[in-house]
Amino acid sequence: MKLLPLVLREIPENLKTLALMNALSAVATAALLWLVDAASKDAATGTVNPRLLIMYAVTVTLFGVTHNYALVTASQDAERLIHRIRLRLFDAVRRADLVTVERIGRASLNGVLTQDTQTLARTLPMLAIGGQQGVMLVFLAVYLAWLSPIACVMAFGFAGLATAVKVGRTTRLRRNMMESAAAEAGVFDGLTDLLKGFKEVRMSRPRADGLIRDLGEASARARAVNVDMKAQWGRNFSLVEAMFYALIGMMVFAVPLFTSGYYQVVVPATTAALFIVGPVSTVSFVAPLVTQTELALSNIEAMEERLRAAAGDAPNESAEPLPKPPASIALSGATFAYTDADGTPVFAVGPLSAEFRAGEITFVTGGNGSGKSTMLRLLTGLMPLSGGERLADGEPVPAERMQSYRDQISAIFSDYHLSRRLYGVADPDPARIRALLERLEMQDKVTVADGAFSTVSLSTGQRKRLALVVAQLEDKPVIVLDEWAADQDPHFRRVFYEELLPELRAAGKIVICVTHDDRWFHLADRVYHMNEGRIEEGRIEEGHRHHTLFSLEPAQ
Ligand SMILES: Nc1ncnc2c1ncn2[C@@H]1O[C@H](COP(=O)(O)OP(=O)(O)OP(=O)(O)O)[C@@H](O)[C@H]1O
């Protein structure tokens, strides 16, 4: 049971008031029943008792106010709880390192962050209502027991039976619903192929025919399963409704057989039975949601635990700032290995030693899969080192300064995600933005207003140019560009190598650039070459061009 401890721990503030309001609204309901009984006796003699009328009006008001308070507060508390859980999850994700996030998988993270929290958003308010109706049932039971203990036992016994039937059938119905969801997912998969692969479908009639045939079959399967599911739902609904009518019948036909003197209370007892139908129905509907809620909470807790366990007892990475913006950063004997699910290393890098200095352009070259991006991830502090050190100005960067170290670096990785909002750039100067957009030849495509780009629906190369606008607005001492130029046209590639990079160097930045463009290797002050996870420093030979530009020597 996770829900109750969670509620007691996370949102204890209103619980007492909530319980009181629930109890008051339930008492008001029982009082209304009593008043109806008393007033109907007067009505039978052709009189209206004004005192009862006033009491009735006051009790209805009390019920309205307390019921409304309890419902609204319970819903607000449920939303507050969900909000807190979400914030905790967001924070756990932002604190996790890249290896952990990649190991858990974005799909699993997404599932917990969206589906499981949505499940809570759906079930918690309903559970709150169910709880309230449960309290109401307790008070109605007391009232009915006061009128006639036997009537109470029989009414609640029968209601319990109806609930058991309903819950049992709902479990079966849930199986039908899961089949229905699977069938709908089949249709959705086909639709994804149709819409995402529209160009491919349009280009080939046999492919289109095959896909549409499969889609038709998936849709027919979904129809059959849905018909079955809805018939089952209809049968459940009718049966349970009929059982509640049977309950009322029992109050007037069966209960009198078991108790004497019942004729005196038959009207209020039957009215009370009518009143329990609604709450019993709600409680029986809501009860199965407890399992879903518990499952969602378990998933969320397990995910938090995985994220937290990965962080382990790691010190607070934001505890200390770097003493000053670094004039050089370096890896010294750094090692790291990717592992598979069993922990077996699948690709190892290092020991890597490389230094990157302010006012220098450093190129990192190497074949596909040689470990360039991995080296950058280690250098930028995105992934932990297994061995060796990261240095800033020749000094090892302790874990307590890692966030401050990362904050010195603007990085545009090859899979860079461009947000529309300029997160992390406080009050950007509009004139500077305009100048940068012009410099990156994007002024006709994009504007910036209220801290956001007017659009990010652009080509990959154009998005990378905007990423460079953001990086320059950030104005950090280190700029890392992972194959930035690969998505640019020849004209802008030249601008990048011959103008933008030298400008960044002239501004005193540590410029690190992964590239395959050997035509411009001569523009670098330093070249590192990656080969099967090892690094070699290239010596640039004057007067040479193209790939013979530098010869490789082991780094010192
Ligand atoms: N998350 C990961 N888990 C396991 N192995 C990985 C992971 N990321 C990369 N690798 C492996 O590490 C090796 C180096 O990858 P990396 O991306 O660093 O190379 P790269 O030199 O940047 O390649 P490219 O030029 O193709 O971008 C590859 O063999 C790759 O399969």
Confidence label for 313 from pLDDT (cuts 50, 70 and 90): low
Confidence label for 538 from pLDDT (cuts 50, 70 and 90): low
Round to the nearest angstrom and report the end-to-end CA distance of the chain: 60
**With a 6 A CB cut-off, is 365 part of the ligand 1 pocket?**
no
Taking the CB of residue 518, how many other CB atoms lie within 10 A of it?
A: 16
Q: What is the CATH number of domain 328-554?
A: 3.40.50.300
Confirm if 277 and 267 have CB atoms less than 8 A apart.
no
List the chain domain ranges.
1-147+282-312, 149-264, 328-554
Q: Which of 340, 373, 534 to mutate to test the pocket of ligand 1 (most atoms within 8 A of CB)?
A: 373
Both tokens assigned to 32 = 């209304």
**With a 6 A CB cut-off, is 338 part of the ligand 1 pocket?**
yes
**With a 6 A CB cut-off, is 347 part of the ligand 1 pocket?**
yes
Residue 544 reports pLDDT greater than 60: no
- How confident is the prediction for the chain on average, in pLDDT? 86
**With a 6 A CB cut-off, is 515 part of the ligand 1 pocket?**
no
**With a 6 A CB cut-off, is 346 part of the ligand 1 pocket?**
yes
User: What per-residue confidence (pLDDT) applies to 471?
Assistant: 92
Greater pLDDT, 30 or 479: 479
How far apart (Å, rounded) are the C-alpha atoms in residues 249 and 175?
33
Q: Which of 372, 513, 515 to mutate to test the pocket of ligand 1 (most atoms within 8 A of CB)?
A: 372
How far apart (Å, rounded) are the C-alpha atoms in residues 191 and 180?
17
Task: Tell me the mean pLDDT in the region 296-308.
Answer: 87
- Nearest in space to 464 (alpha carbons), one of 494, 439, 487: 487
**With a 6 A CB cut-off, is 373 part of the ligand 1 pocket?**
yes
Query: Which pTM value belongs to this model?
Result: 0.72
Residue 118 reports pLDDT greater than 50: yes
Distance 347 CA to ligand 1 centre (A): 8
* Percentage with pLDDT > 70 across the chain: 96
pLDDT in tens, 58-104: 999 999 999 999 888 888 888 888 889 889 888 888 888 888 888 88
Which residue has a Cα nearest atom 4 of ligand 1? Answer: 338
pLDDT in tens, 337-358: 988 878 788 899 979 999 999 9
Q: Which of 346, 382, 529, 536 to mutate to test the pocket of ligand 1 (most atoms within 8 A of CB)?
A: 346
| Cα distances (angstroms) measured from residue 173 to each of 168, 178, 216, 316, 371 | 9, 9, 25, 49, 52
Which residue has a Cα nearest atom 1 of ligand 1? Answer: 102
pLDDT in tens, 220-230: 988 988 888 88
Which residue has a Cα nearest atom 29 of ligand 1? Answer: 369
pLDDT in tens, 510-522: 999 999 888 888 8
Which residue has a Cα nearest atom 16 of ligand 1? Answer: 371
Confidence label for 532 from pLDDT (cuts 50, 70 and 90): confident
Q: Which of 370, 415, 530 to mutate to test the pocket of ligand 1 (most atoms within 8 A of CB)?
A: 370
pLDDT in tens, 135-177: 889 999 999 999 999 999 999 999 888 888 877 777 777 777 7
Which residue has a Cα nearest atom 27 of ligand 1? Answer: 368
- Nearest in space to 154 (alpha carbons), one of 6, 220, 253: 253
Query: Beta 526-531 vs 534-540: how paired, if at all?
Result: antiparallel
Residue 409 reports pLDDT greater than 90: yes
Contacts made by residues 311-317, CB under 8 angstroms, sequence distance 24+: 311/95, 311/96, 311/97, 311/100, 314/399, 315/399, 315/400, 316/400, 317/399, 317/400, 317/401, 317/402, 317/403
Residue 447 reports pLDDT greater than 70: yes
**With a 6 A CB cut-off, is 341 part of the ligand 1 pocket?**
no
Q: Which atom of ligand 1 is closest in space to residue 533's alpha carbon?
A: 14
**With a 6 A CB cut-off, is 180 part of the ligand 1 pocket?**
no
**With a 6 A CB cut-off, is 366 part of the ligand 1 pocket?**
yes
Task: Tell me the mean pLDDT in the region 404-409.
Answer: 93
Q: Which atom of ligand 1 is closest in space to residue 375's alpha carbon?
A: 18
User: What per-residue confidence (pLDDT) applies to 96?
Assistant: 83
Which residue has a Cα nearest atom 13 of ligand 1? Answer: 369
Looking at the chain, how many residues does it have? 556
